[in-house]
């Protein structure tokens, strides 16, 4: 985060971090409280290790992390992590088509498993399909790799399809709030805007996924899969950059389960701020963001959740890509 962006964040958080007159001890300067919190989110250094760097006690570090994270979500989420309006959705379609060659699309959908040490009584709930403990975050990004919908803190044992049905994104889609009313035309037919997912998500009239790989796929279906996977990589890259900048997400050992949803949202918001403000990104930060000993769960979506009517949209996409060549 650049110096200018840091002070911008401090000024935006000032209304939520004003000193309380009831405190008996002098309150730390706002900039120091924000710096302590961001340092912890960025490095994942333990409270006890971080406290001497700023000349404060471990409990003060913990308080700073909690208060600043809550303030970020309260004050900056409405600015940097919200449902786009109709005009913004149209612009997102243009960007996705220009950058990734995928038309009529407003984003890519995926999940992120964050390693944790759960309470013993909840160990089974948070043990995911690959046998390690995690909380599950579902996120959607635009064509620039910035998050615009995040649902978090689901137990790691849940499948992506179940998380989707439990998320606000599912409700928004079912209410028709992810596309104009009436829908815009694509290939001569009124069609909802789509999100791109992988095999762990159900095929819907607003979620496209690849055809199941087998030897019977036609050339146009293979081309569709290639195009979709290439465009879907925008969220895979966003997750990598998110974890590289905010390494608290590599392993959440030093905070309570109650605080975790706020920490995850705060990191997603800070990611958007850094990206929107063109802050530099060091590729070396990516080292260690994908530990091979923690493979990602990838249970396919149940067939019962599939919407057969959505096959028409995949077919239209196949026609579109066939008409415009390999690309």
- What pLDDT score was predicted for residue 293? 64
- What pLDDT score was predicted for residue 21? 43
Geometric angle at alpha carbon 14, from 12 and 15, rounded to 5°: 100
Contact by Cβ (8 Å): 202, 164: yes
Residue 145 tokens read as: 């790799």
Instruction: Produce one character per residue of 86-121: b if its CB has 16 or more CB atoms within 10 Å, e if not.
Output: eeebeebbeebeeebebbbbbbbbbbbbbbbebeee
Residue 173 tokens read as: 């889609």
Residue 12 tokens read as: 């935006």
pTM greater than the 0.85 cutoff: yes
CA distance linking residue 134 with residue 113, whole number of Å: 6
CA distance linking residue 16 with residue 125, whole number of Å: 34
- What pLDDT score was predicted for residue 284? 85
CA distance linking residue 317 with residue 46, whole number of Å: 49
- What pLDDT score was predicted for residue 30? 93
Q: Where are the beta strands (DSSP E) in 202-255?
A: 207-208
CA distance linking residue 200 with residue 242, whole number of Å: 22
CA terminus-to-terminus distance, the chain: 36
Domain boundaries, the chain: 3-79, 83-324
Residue with tokens 């699309």: 105
Nearest Cα residue to 164 out of 110, 99, 112, 93: 110
The tens place of each residue's pLDDT in the chain, 327 residues long, gives 999 999 999 999 999 887 654 444 457 899 999 999 999 999 988 888 988 989 899 999 999 999 999 999 999 999 999 999 999 999 999 999 999 999 999 999 999 999 998 888 888 999 998 999 999 999 999 999 999 999 998 999 999 999 999 999 999 999 999 998 888 999 989 999 999 999 999 999 999 999 988 888 999 999 999 999 999 999 999 999 999 999 999 987 767 888 999 999 999 999 999 999 999 998 888 887 776 667 888 888 888 888 888 899 999 999 999 887 655
Residue 322 tokens read as: 């066939």
What is the DSSP code (8-state) at residue 250? G
Q: Where are the alpha helices (DSSP H) in the chain?
A: 3-13, 30-43, 47-54, 58-80, 86-100, 160-166, 168-174, 219-245, 260-276, 311-323
């Amino acid at each position: 985060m650049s110096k200018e962006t840091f002070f911008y964040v401090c000024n935006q958080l000032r209304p939520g971090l004003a000193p309380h007159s009831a405190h008996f001890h002098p309150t730390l300067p706002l900039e120091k409280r924000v710096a302590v919190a961001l340092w912890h989110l960025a490095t994942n250094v333990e409270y006890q290790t971080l406290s001497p760097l700023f000349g404060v006690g471990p409990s003060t570090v913990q308080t700073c992390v909690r208060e600043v994270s809550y303030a970020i979500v309260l004050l900056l989420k409405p600015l940097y992590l919200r449902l786009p309006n109709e005009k913004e959705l149209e612009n997102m379609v243009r960007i996705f088509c220009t950058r990734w060659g995928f038309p009529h699309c407003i984003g890519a959908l995926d999940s992120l498993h964050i390693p944790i040490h759960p309470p013993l009584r909840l160990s089974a709930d948070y043990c995911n399909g690959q046998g390690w403990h995690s909380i599950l975050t579902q996120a959607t990004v635009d064509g620039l790799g910035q998050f615009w919908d995040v649902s978090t803190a689901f137990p790691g044992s849940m499948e992506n399809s179940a998380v989707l049905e439990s998320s606000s994104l599912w409700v928004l889609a079912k209410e028709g709030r992810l596309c104009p009313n009436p829908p815009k035309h694509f290939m001569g037919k009124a069609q909802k805007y789509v999100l791109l997912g992988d095999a762990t998500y159900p095929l819907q009239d607003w979620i496209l996924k690849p055809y199941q790989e087998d030897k019977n796929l036609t050339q146009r279906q293979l081309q569709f899969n290639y195009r979709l996977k290439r465009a879907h990589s925008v969220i895979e890259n966003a997750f990598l950059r998110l974890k590289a900048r905010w390494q608290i997400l590599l392993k959440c050992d030093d905070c309570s389960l109650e605080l975790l949803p706020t920490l995850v949202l705060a990191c997603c918001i800070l990611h958007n701020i850094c990206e929107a403000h063109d802050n530099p990104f060091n590729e070396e930060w990516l080292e260690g963001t994908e530990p091979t000993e923690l493979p990602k769960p990838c249970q396919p979506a149940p067939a019962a959740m599939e919407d057969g009517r959505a096959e028409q949209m995949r077919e239209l996409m196949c026609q579109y890509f066939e008409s415009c060549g390999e690309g």
